[in-house]
Amino acid sequence: MPTLTIEYSTESERLALERAIAFVTEMQHVAGAAAYGTVLDACETHALQAGRALLRDTLESAVQSQIDAQKKKPGRVRKATAPAAS
């Protein structure tokens, strides 16, 4: 069986990569278990449900990582700016 080596920088990045791999594996199982003529619908449903959760969690993790990184940098405080008037 082939193997895959993935390099990552942080624990949150490792978890995100593992979830993405799991999502692809799940998609293959969904496709394999779907009845004839329903593969596309089954995979689309899985993509919309599990894929949306994967994207949401990945986005949340990326944003949190940046927040944590900014907190560690001394003297880096951003001032909030008012939105530009239209």
* Other C-beta atoms lying within 10 Å of the C-beta of residue 31: 14
**pLDDT tens for residues 7-60?**
999 888 899 999 999 999 999 999 999 999 999 999 999 999 999 999 999 999
Q: Using alpha carbons, list the distances in angstroms from residue 5 to 9, 59, 66.
A: 14, 23, 26
Helices and strands per DSSP (H, E), number in the chain: 3, 0
This prediction has a pTM of 0.71
Higher pLDDT, 80 or 51: 51
| Residue that has been written with the tokens 């791999």 in this structure | 21
Query: What's the pLDDT at 69?
Result: 84
d(CA 83, CA 73): 26
Domain ranges of the chain: 11-71
Residue 16's CB is within 10 A of a number of other CB atoms, namely 19
